[in-house]
Structure 1
Amino acid sequence: MPHPETWLKVLPNGLYCEPGGFYVDPLRPVDRAVITHGHADHARPGHRAVLATADTLAVMRARLGEGNAGHTQQALGWHEPIGLGDVKAWLSPAGHVLGSAQVAMEYRGSRVVVSGDYKRTADPTCAGFEPVPCDVFVTEATFALPVFVHPPPAQEIRRLLDSVALFPNRTHVVGCYALGKCQRLIALLRQAGWDRPIWLHGALSAMCALYQQRGIDLGDLRPATVAAKASLIGAIVLAPPGAIADRWARRLEDPVVALASGWMRVRQRAKSRGVELPLVISDHADWNELNATLDDVAAPEVWVTHGREEALIHAAAQRGIRGRALRLLGYGDEDDGEPAHGDTTQGDTTQGDTTQGERHDEAAGLHLPG
Structure 2
Amino acid sequence: MPPHPESWLRVTPQGLYCEPGGFFIDPQRPVDRAVITHGHADHARPGHEAVLATPATLAIMRARMGEAGAGTVQQPIRPGETLVQNGVAIRLVPAGHVLGSAQVVLDWQGSRAVVSGDYKRQRDTTCAPFEPVNCDVFVTEATFALPVFRHPPPEEETAKLLKSLALFPDRTHVVGCYALGKCQRLIRLLREAGWEAPIHLHGALATLCTLYETLGVPLGPLAPATVANKAALKGAIVLAPPSAVQDRWARRLAEPVVAVASGWMRVRQRAKTRGVELPLVISDHADWDDLNRTIDEVGAPEVWVTHGRDDALVHAMALRGIRGRALHLVGLGDEEDDAPQPEAAA
Which of the five TM-score ranges fits, normalised by the shorter chain? over 0.9
Aligned mates of 1:268, 1:285 — CA distance in 2: 21
Q: Is the 8 A contact 1:204 1:351 kept in 2?
A: no
Q: Is the 8 A contact 2:150 2:288 kept in 1?
A: yes
Counterpart residue identity of residue 147, structure 2: P
- SS state of the match for residue 228, structure 1? helix
2:4 aligned partner:
3
- SS state of the match for residue 68, structure 2? coil
| Stretches of structure 1 lacking an aligned partner (at least 5 in a row) | 340-346, 353-370
Counterpart residue identity of residue 19, structure 2: E
- SS state of the match for residue 259, structure 1? strand
CA shift digits 1:281-301 (9 cap, x unpaired): 000000000000011100000
- SS state of the match for residue 289, structure 2? helix
Aligned mates of 1:53, 1:91 — CA distance in 2: 7
1:332 aligned partner:
333
- SS state of the match for residue 241, structure 1? coil
1:178 aligned partner:
179
Match of 2:339 among 306, 330, 348: 348
Offset at 1:259?
0.2
Offset at 1:60?
0.3
Query: Closer, same or farther in 2 for the Cα pair 1:144/1:351, shift >3 Å?
Result: farther
Aligned-residue sequence identity (percent) comes to 71
Offset at 1:25?
0.2
Offset at 1:56?
0.1
Aligned mates of 1:125, 1:136 — CA distance in 2: 28
Q: Is the 8 A contact 1:144 1:311 kept in 2?
A: yes
Offset at 1:150?
0.3
Q: Is the 8 A contact 1:177 1:351 kept in 2?
A: no
- SS state of the match for residue 294, structure 1? helix
Offset at 1:226?
5.7
Counterpart residue identity of residue 350, structure 1: Q
Aligned mates of 1:210, 1:351 — CA distance in 2: 16
Aligned mates of 1:262, 1:274 — CA distance in 2: 16
RMSD of Structure 2 on Structure 1 (CA): 0.8
1:160 aligned partner:
161
Aligned mates of 1:107, 1:251 — CA distance in 2: 57
CA shift digits 1:265-311 (9 cap, x unpaired): 00000000000000000000000000000111000000000000011
CA shift digits 1:164-217 (9 cap, x unpaired): 000001000000000000000000000000001000000000000000110100
1:61 aligned partner:
62
Matched, 1:144 2:135: no
Aligned mates of 2:140, 2:54 — CA distance in 1: 19
Aligned mates of 1:236, 1:32 — CA distance in 2: 42
| Segments ≥4 residues shifted beyond 4 Å | none
Offset at 1:349?
2.0
Counterpart residue identity of residue 348, structure 1: A
Offset at 1:227?
5.7
Offset at 1:351?
5.3
Q: Is the 8 A contact 1:31 1:49 kept in 2?
A: yes
Offset at 1:329?
1.0
Q: Is the 8 A contact 1:16 1:24 kept in 2?
A: yes
Counterpart residue identity of residue 213, structure 1: T
Q: Is the 8 A contact 2:95 2:119 kept in 1?
A: yes
Query: Closer, same or farther in 2 for the Cα pair 1:274/1:351, shift >3 Å?
Result: farther
Aligned mates of 1:4, 1:307 — CA distance in 2: 22
TM-score (ref. length: structure 1): 0.91
2:43 aligned partner:
42
Q: Is the 8 A contact 2:135 2:298 kept in 1?
A: yes
- SS state of the match for residue 114, structure 2? strand
CA shift digits 1:47-87 (9 cap, x unpaired): 00000000000000000100121000011011111101120
Q: Is the 8 A contact 1:240 1:351 kept in 2?
A: no
Aligned mates of 1:61, 1:226 — CA distance in 2: 29
Matched, 1:236 2:237: yes
1:366 aligned partner:
none
Counterpart residue identity of residue 21, structure 1: G
Offset at 1:225?
1.9
Offset at 1:33?
0.2
- SS state of the match for residue 244, structure 1? helix
Aligned mates of 2:15, 2:116 — CA distance in 1: 15
Aligned mates of 1:24, 1:273 — CA distance in 2: 34
Offset at 1:14?
0.3
Aligned mates of 1:246, 1:276 — CA distance in 2: 15
The aligned runs of 1:159-308 (5 Å cut-off) are: 159-225=160-226, 228-308=229-309
Counterpart residue identity of residue 143, structure 2: T
Aligned mates of 1:57, 1:312 — CA distance in 2: 32
| Stretches of structure 2 lacking an aligned partner (at least 5 in a row) | none
2:314 aligned partner:
313
2:24 aligned partner:
23
Counterpart residue identity of residue 339, structure 2: D
Q: Is the 8 A contact 1:146 1:287 kept in 2?
A: yes
Aligned mates of 2:282, 2:291 — CA distance in 1: 16
